[in-house]
Structure 1
Amino acid sequence: MRWRTIKSTGLPVLMIALLSLWSISPYGLRIEERFGLEALFWLRGPIEPPPGVVVVAITKHSAKALGLSDKLYEWSRDIHGKLVENLTQLEAGRIAFDVFFEHARDQAGDKHFERAIRGANNVFLFVRAEREFLDVGGQMEGELQTLLYPYAPFARAAIGTAPLILPKVPARVNRFYLRLPGHSERSTLHAATWLSEQANPALAAEYLASLPVMPLLNLYGPPRTITTVEFSQVIQDPSSVAELIAGATVFVGYSANQQPDQKDGFYTAFTSPQGLDISGVELAATAYANLAQGQFLKEWLPAYNGLLAFLYGLVVYYCSRRFAPLGSAIAVAGLAISMSVIVYLCFGFYQLWLPWFHTVVVMTLLCATVGMWLRSRESDFQQRLLHWAFGKYLPQEELQKLVAGKSLPDRRDYHHSVCLVTDAQGFSRLSEQLSPAALADLMQEYYYNLIPPIRQAGGIISDVAGDGVIALWPHLSPGTSWQTLHAVVKKINSNIDNFNQVHPDLQLPTRIGIHAGEIVLGHFGALDHHEFRAMGDIVNTTSRLEGANKMLGTRVLLSEECVDKEDAQLRDLGRYQFVGKNNPLRLFTLWESPEAELKGLFEKARENLEKGDLAQANEKFQCLLKRFPEDGPTQFIAGVLSEIKPDSEISHGLENGIIQFKSK
C-alpha cells in the first residue's frame, strides 16, 4: 500500500516538475512563443498605435503614381532626395531609411540625395548585415558576420548608420534586437534612432544597456496598423500628410508584400489568413514605438515561469484527485479560466507576458487527465476491495447502492421471491464435542460446500446462523423457479454427501426447505448496527418446511408455490398445515426410491386421503408401511392415520385431506 501511495503521488509530481523544466528549455520557450504568445495577441486584438511614428511605404502603387520602374534599383536617387526635402519641410523629427543604398548611380541624383540628407541633419541610413559560414575542411565551422555600409557620401552626410536585424524563430518575428549580435556597442536602426532623440544620451544608453538584448515586440496589429502614408503621396501632395509628419519619427521602406523588386515580409501573430505579412520597416517602427512609449513586452525570468507552471500543475492535479468527476471537472475548468484571465490581464494591461500554453493548456490537460485517471484507478481498487470484503455478505446490487450512496439506502425493495432454508442435523452434538476452533474449521469447510452452488445460481445469502443458511432468489418466477433450484438442490446434496464421506465421524446431514411468496429486502437495525435481511412470512414458513423434513423422513421439502407439478421427479406428499398457520400447503419432495410400485401405491393412498376416505387411506398406507417400512412419508402418514378416533380433532382435519403437524 505504501508503494502504491508513493507511485500515485510522487510520480505525478515528478512528471509536473519535468514538464515545468521542459517549458523553460529553449525548445519549450520557442513553443510557448509560437502558440501561447500568438493566442494572447489574438485574444487582445489590435490596439491603437502611439502617435509620432509614421511609415512611408514604398509600394507598386507609388512606383506607378510617380511613373517609375517597378524595380527599385532603377530609380534615381533624386526621388529620395525630394522625399527627404519634403519631410524636412513638414518638420519630421527623425528619418530612418530601411533601404540599402549600396552603390552610386546617376551623378545628379546622388548629389541631390546627398545634399538633402546633409541639409535635413536627421537621417539614419540602413546598414546591411551579412552572415557567411566558414568552410573548414569541408565542414561548416561557425559563421562570420560582415557589415555592408551604404554609399560613402550618403553615409557621411547622415547623422548615423545602423543595421536592422530581426530574429526569426524559426520564421516568426516575436522579438527585436537592441544591439547588433556580437557587437554590444552597435545599436540597431530603431534603437539608434530613439537614442539620438534623447536629451541625455548617456543616461539613455545606460537604460538601453539594462534591457534584454532581444526584448519582446508588443505588436499593435496587422500590416498597416502603424500610421502609413504612400511614398508618392509625400512627393506629390505633402500638405495632405502635414499633420501626420510634423514632429514624427519617419521610417521609410518597403511595405508588406508590395515591394517593387524584393520581398521583405515577416510572419507574425497578426499575419492575415491571406498570407499578408508585416514588412521589416513596420517592425522597425513598432520596435521604435515600443521603446519610445516603454510598451515593449516584459517577461519573467524562465525560473519564475517554470515555478508558476509547477504550482499551477500541482493545484490542478490535487483538484482532479480530490473531487468526484463532476466536481473535479468544474474545479479544473474554473482554474483554467481563472489562470487564463490572469495571464490575459497581465498581458493586456501591464505588458507582462506570462506562459499560457504550457501552464494552462498543457498542464491542465495532462495533470487533470493523470489526476482523474489515478482517482478512477483508486476508486476502482477501493470498490474491488469493498466487493471483496462485503460481497460475501451483501448481494451485488445492494453493494453497488452502498458504494454509490456511501450510506445505507433508505428504500426497501418488495419482491416475490423464492426462499431456500438449510439446516445441518447433528450440529448441536458436534458443537459440544469439538473445540470452538475445530468447530469453526469444520463449519468453514461445510459452508464452502453449501454456499457456492447458491451463489452460482444467482441466489442471495440473506442469513447464515450456526448451521443454517437462508437464501433468496428475488427475481425467479414461480413457474420456472424449479428449473434453477433443482440443479442447486442436486449440487448441494452431492457436495454434502462428499463432505460426510470425508468426515465419517463428523457428519452433517443437511435438510432443505423451499417456499415462495412476498418478501421485503432491506437494511434493518438501529444506531450503529444494521443487517441486510429479508422480512416476510415465507422465511418463517420455509424454515417450518425445512424442519418438517425430520418428521417426514425427507431431505428436501418444497411447497407447491415453486414447483412444476408435472415434473416426474417430484413426489406429491399431500396437503399439510403447520401449527399457528391458517393456510395449508401442498408439499413435494424428490423421488429417491427406485421402486416404481411405491410411487403408484403412494399416489393412490394419497388420493383416498384427500377425498376424505380415511378407512381406505389408512388401509393402503398400512399396507405400504409393511412393504416399504423405510419410506419416511409413508411412516409419518401411516402413524397419523393409526391415531384416528371418531369425532377427534385429527379425524376432522383428515376428512378435508389435510394433515396437521403437532409441533413447530
Structure 2
Amino acid sequence: MLQRLIRPVIIAAIAGSIAGAVSTATDLELPSQDALFRLRGPLPTPEHVVIVAMDEASENQLGVGQDLTRWRAFHAHLIQQLQRQGVKLVVFDLQFIAANPAVDPALAAAMRAAGNVLIGECVQKFRHGAADFFGREECSETNKQTAVALEGDTDAELPEQLVAMRQIRATPEIAAAALDSAPFYLANDAEGSKVREVWTFFDALADAPSLPVLAWTYTRQAAAAFADSGQSGSAWLTERRRDCLAAEDRPAPTGLGADFDKLLCDGDSRYLNYYGPPKTLRMESYADVYSGKIGDLRDKVVFVGRANRQFSPGKTDFFPTPFSDSRTGKMAGVEIMATQFANLSQAAFIEIPMPFWTVSGPFGLAVAGLLNSRRKRRGLLASALLAAGYAGFAVYTFTAWRWWLPLAGPLLVQLPLSWLLALAWSRYDLICERKRLLNFVRQVFPQWATFVPAAPGAWHAERHLPPTRPERDVSGLCLATDIAGYTAIAAQHSPREMWQLLNAYYQVLGHPVISHQGMIADVTGDAMMAIWCELPPAKQKLLACLAALDMAAAVEAFNQATPLAPLATRIGLHQGELTLGRLEAGRTSHYRAIGDTVNTASRIQGVNTPLGTRILATASIAAELEGIVSRPVGSFRVVGRSEPVELVEIVGRGDAEPNPAHSRFAEGLAAFRAGDWFEAIRSLQAALELDADDGPSRFYLQKAVEFRRNPPERWNGVVLLDAK
C-alpha cells in the first residue's frame, strides 16, 4: 500500500520539477497565452476610452506627412475642439522634446486653458554605448546619445552587465503648461517579441509612474490628495511608491481604493488583457476630430498618438500582440497605452493567481495516481481525459476570471514525462517479477529453470520446450443448432446461392455466441456447435441461454430480410464433460469439441421438430436461473441414449409477458406423465384454445389421444423418440 502511494508522489515530483525548470528557463508558456486569447476571442470595449489616431488619412488632409514635428501646429486647435466636447482627460502619446517657437506658445496656451492634458516623456535604454539603443520613435534623433557621452567620456563603453536608462522631458514651456507628464516605455526590439507585459512604475527611473497609471490616477479624482501635498500627480505617486518599497509592512491606505493601493505596493509590471486585435478600441481619425466631425466625446478619456490604420507592417512604433497575425497586423503604441489605462479602470489585468508548482503539483499527483492504477490502458486514457479537462478549466478561468494558468508546462512536458516514467516503472516491475519467478522456479522446480525467461522478450521457443498436449478435458456447456428442412431448401437453389445464404446466416448466428463469451467449436453444413467453458457454472448457463434467445431473434429478423427461403433454426443446450482438442487428418488438423455432451446437445435440438419449439435445454441448465423464463416439456429418450433426458423450453427473458396457455399445458403434462389420458386431453385442449400455436400442447394432445386408444404396456412417463 505504501508503495502505491510513494510511486505517484515520485513521478509527480520528477515530472513537475522538470516541467517547472523548462518553463522557467524558456518562454514555453508564452504561446499558450496567445492560444488562450484567441480561444477567448474579443471582449466588449470600454466606452470611456477613445483613441484619436494620427493616421494616413489625417497625414494627407493636413499635409504633414510622416514628420511628427509638423503635427504640433495642429495640436492646439485639437485640444480646443476636445474641450468643447467636454472630454475628461487628454493624453498625448507624444514627447515634445525639441522646441518649436513658432507654434509652442499657442499649444502651451491651449494646454493651460484646458487644464486636463497629460503628455509623455521619452525613455531611452542603452547597452554597449551607442551599439544597442532601445527607444520609441518619438525620442528625437538629437537625443540619441549614449549614457557615457552624457557623462562627458565619449571614448568609454558600457560593460555588458550594465544597462542604463535615461528619461528626457518635454521642453520647459510645454511641460509647464501640461497638467502632468510621465514616461510610457515600449522596447523597440529588433526581434519583434510580443508585448504582453507593461510597466506600471519605472523603479529604474527613480520610481516614476507610467503615463497610463498617471492618467488613471487623475480620473479617480485624486486632485485633493495632490493639492494637500502641494505636489504634482506624478511626484505624489512616486513618493507613495517609495513608501511602499521602503516599508516592511504595507503602508496605510491612500483612501483611493484597494486596487489603487495594490498597484502602488505590488510589482512594477502587469500582464495586459487585450480586448481584441489591433484597432479593436474605438479609434477616430485626427482630421475628423480636428474638423469637428466627431461629436460624442463627453466625459471620455482621449489618447492622441500615431496609429496607421491602413498599413502597419514596416511602420515604426507598432508592436506585435497575442492577437497579431498576418491579417490583423501589429498594434500601435498609443492603443497599447489605451489598453493599459482601460485595464486599470476596469481592474481587468491578466493575473497569474498562483505559482507554477501549486498547479503542477496536484495535476502531477492526479496524473500519476491514474497511471498507477492496475489497468494501465484505462489509467492512460483517464490521464488524457484529465489533461483535456484541465485545459478546458484553464480556458474557462482565463475567460471568466482573467487567470493565466500554465498550459504548456503541464500538458506538453509534465504529462508526457509522467507517461514515460510510469511506463519505465511498469517495465521495471515486470523485470523484477520475472526475476522473482525465476528464483522461485530454481528453488522449487530446478529442472524447469531454463524455460522461464529472466526478462521480457527473453523467451526462446527453441530451448527444448516440453511437449504440449493437443487436447484438454473441460466441464462445459454445448449449444447445437440445425436448420429444419435444409435438404429441401438446398435442392431449390444453386450452390452459389446457398453459399451466399449460409455465409450471411452464420454471421448472424455467430455474433450472439461471441458477444456472450462463447466459442464456436464447429460449423458443418447447416449445423453449428458452440461451447462455454472455463467460467463459473451459473454464468455459463446464463450466457448460453441469453445467446440462444438472441440467436433465435436474430434468425427471425434474418428470415424476414432474406429473399430466399427462411431458415427455421432449432437450438439445443446440454452441459457436461467434453474434450477440446486438435484432430489430425492427414496433413491438416481441426480443432473440435468431442464427447457425449456434444452428441446429446445435437439430439436435443432435434426434439424441437416434433414439439414445434425453437430452444430446448436439459432441465439442469434452467434450474434456478434468474433472468430466464422456461417451462418443462417432458422426459425423452433420444436416439443413441439409454438414459432419458428431462427437457425444458427456453421461452424468453425474465421480463417476457406470461403466457396463460403454459399453466394449462403444465396441468396437461402432469396428467399425461401420470397416465391420466382423459384429464391430459382436457387440459391440453384448454391450452390450445388459449394458444392455438403452442407446439408442445399439440404434440402431447396427439400422444394422449393415441395412448387412450392404445395404452402402453409399461408407462413411466418417458416419451420415446425413434428419429433424430
- Fold shared by both chains (TM-score > 0.5): yes
Distance in 2, matches of 1:384 and 1:63, equals 83
Matched, 1:164 2:184: yes
Q: Is the 8 A contact 1:118 1:157 kept in 2?
A: yes
Q: 1:39 aligns with which of 26, 35, 39?
A: 35
Shift of 1:383: 7.4
1:348 paired residue among 384, 399, 404: 399
Q: Distance in 2 between matches of 1:96 and 1:262?
A: 22
Q: Which residue does 1:147 correspond to in 2?
A: 167
Alpha-carbon distance between aligned partners in 2 of 1:275 and 1:537, rounded to the nearest angstrom: 73
Match of 2:468 in 1: 460
Instruction: Please give the alpha-carbon distance, in whole angstroms, between the structure 2 residues aligned to 1:538 and 1:347.
Output: 65
Q: What is the CA–CA distance in structure 1 between the aligned matches of 2:461 and 2:52, rounded to whole Å?
A: 94
- Give the conservation status (yes or no) of the 8 Å contact 1:319–1:332: yes
Alpha carbons of structure 1 residues 459 and 384: separation in structure 2 relative to 1, 3 Å? farther
Is contact 1:72-1:260 (8 Å) kept?
Answer: no
The alignment status of 1:177 with 2:199, answered yes or no, reads yes
Q: C-alpha deviations, 1:207-266, integer Å up to 9, x for none?
A: 431343111111111001111111111112x2x4221x2111111111157579951111
Task: Give how far 1:15 is off.
Answer: 1.5
Residue 161 of structure 1 deviates from its aligned partner by 0.8
How far is 1:280 from its partner?
0.9
- Scaled by the length of structure 1, the TM-score of the pair is 0.55
Structure 1 residue 284, shift from structure 2 partner: 0.5
Residue 170 of structure 1: how far off its partner (Å): 7.3
Aligned to 1:182, the other structure's residue is in SS state helix
How far off is 1:12 after superposition?
2.7
Distance in 1 (CA, whole Å) between partners of 2:107 and 2:47 is: 28
- 2:221 aligns with 199
Q: Any conservation in 2 of the 1:132–1:145 contact (CA below 8 Å)?
A: yes
> Contact (CA 8 Å) 2:273, 2:349: kept in 1 or not?
yes
> What are the Cα deviations for residues 557-580 of structure 1, in whole angstroms up to 9, with x where unaligned?
xxx9989xxxxxxxxxxxxxxxxx
Q: Secondary structure at the residue paired with 1:114? A: helix
Q: Does 1:220 align with 2:242?
A: no
Which residue of the partner structure matches residue 305 of structure 2?
253
Question: Which amino acid in 1 is paired with 2:53?
Answer: A
Residue 122 (str. 1) matches residue 108 (str. 2): no
Q: Deviations over 1:414-457 (max 9, x none)?
A: xxxxxxxxxxxxxxxxxxxxxxx9xx99x969x99xxx999847
C-alpha displacement at 1:291, in angstroms?
Answer: 0.5
1:81 match:
76
SS of corresponding position for 2:163: strand
Q: Report SS of the residue matched to 1:196.
A: helix
2:386 paired with 1:357: no
Please list the CA deviations of residues 497-520 of structure 1 after superposition, one character each: whole Å capped at 9, or x if unmatched: xxxxxxxxxxxxxxxxxxxxxxx9
Question: Matches of 1:125 and 1:186 in 2, distance apart?
Answer: 14
> How is 1:551-562 mapped onto 2 (pairs within 5 angstroms)?
none
Q: Distance in 1 between matches of 2:393 and 2:282?
A: 31
Superposed CA deviations along residues 341-383 of structure 1, whole A, max 9, x for unmatched, are 2222221111222222212333223223432453356457657
Structure 1: where are the runs of 5+ without partners? 393-436, 464-519, 528-533, 540-559, 564-664
Distance between the aligned counterparts of 2:535 and 2:263, measured in 1? 82
Matched position secondary structure for 1:241: coil
- Write the mapping of 1:151-550 to structure 2, written as runs, cut at 5 A: 151-166=171-186, 171-183=193-205, 185-200=207-222, 201=225, 202-204=254-256, 206-236=261-291, 238=292, 240-243=293-296, 245-255=297-307, 258=311, 263-274=316-327, 276-302=329-355, 305-322=356-373, 324-375=375-426, 378=429, 456=464, 459-460=467-468
Partner of 1:514: none
Residue type of the alignment partner of 1:460: T
Amino acid at match of 1:280: G
Paired residue secondary structure (1:460): coil
CA deviations 1:507-550 (Å, max 9, x no partner) are xxxxxxxxxxxxx99869999xxxxxx976999xxxxxxxxxxx
Cα distance, 1:148 vs structure 2: 0.9
Q: Secondary structure at the match of 1:129?
A: strand
Q: Which residues of 2 match residues 43-62 of structure 1 at below 5 A?
A: 43-62=39-58
Partner of residue 94 from structure 2, selected from 92, 96, 99: 99
Distance of aligned partners of 1:203 and 1:185 in 2 relative to their CA distance in 1, 3 Å threshold? farther
Distance 1:23 1:562, change over 3 A: closer
Larger Rg: 1
Alignment partner of 1:127: what SS? strand
Q: Deviations over 1:295-341 (max 9, x none)?
A: 11222343xx3121122012112212315344124312221122122
Which amino acid in 2 is paired with 1:86? Answer: Q
Are the counterparts in 1 of residues 94 and 305 from structure 2 also a CA contact under 8 Å?
yes
Q: Which secondary structure state, in structure 2, belongs to the residue aligned with residue 292 of structure 1?
A: helix
Distance 1:90 1:155, change over 3 A: same
Tell me by how many angstroms 1:10 deviates.
7.0
- The amino acid across from 2:316 in the alignment is K
Given that 1:318 and 1:371 are in contact with CA atoms closer than 8 Å, whether structure 2 keeps it comes out as no
* Closer, same or farther: CA 292–7 of 1 in aligned 2, 3 Å: closer
Distance change in 2, residues 1:137/1:290 (3 Å): closer
Q: CA deviation at 1:68?
A: 2.8
Equivalent residue number for residue 11 of structure 2:
12
* 2:284 alignment partner AA: V
- Report if the CA contact (8 A) 1:70-1:260 is conserved: no
Letter in 2 for 1:324: R
In structure 2, C-alpha distance between the alignment counterparts of 1:537 and 1:289, rounded to whole Å: 81
| Counterpart for residue 648 of structure 2 | none
How many residues are aligned here?
A: 421
**1:155–1:12 CA distance, 2 compared to 1 (3 A):** same
In structure 2, give the amino acid aligned to 1:270: F
Cα distance between partner residues in 2 of 1:139 and 1:562: 93
Residues 96 and 310 of structure 1: CA distance in aligned 2, closer, same or farther (over 3 Å) = same
Where do residues 508-657 of structure 1 align in structure 2 (5 Å cutoff)? none
Q: Is the 8 A contact 2:312 2:329 kept in 1?
A: no
Structure 1 counterpart of 2:59, one-letter code? A
1:23–1:306 Cα contact (<8 Å) kept: no
Contact 1:93 1:247 in 2 (8 A): yes
- Aligned in 2, Cα 1:537/1:356: closer, same or farther, shift over 3 Å? closer
Distance (whole Å) between structure 1 residues aligned to residue 217 and residue 183 of structure 2: 14
| Contact kept? 2:194, 2:321, Cα under 8 Å | yes
* TM-score normalised by the chain length of structure 2: 0.51
Q: Secondary structure in 2 aligned to 1:80?
A: helix
Give the alignment's Cα RMSD to 1 decimal: 4.5
Name the amino acid aligned to 1:311.
P
CA shift digits 1:69-127 (9 cap, x unpaired): 23333x1522111111111111111111112222123x342222121111111111110
- Change in Cα spacing, 1:165 to 1:324, as seen in structure 2 (3 Å) is same
Aligned-residue offset at 1:5:
9.1
Please give the alpha-carbon distance, in whole angstroms, between the structure 2 residues aligned to 1:146 and 1:118.
Answer: 27
Change (3 A) 1:122 1:154: same
Are the aligned partners of 2:201 and 2:208 in contact in 1 as well (CA < 8 Å)? yes
Give distance in 1, aligned partners of 2:41 and 2:585. Answer: 80
Distance 2:167 2:308 in 1: 25
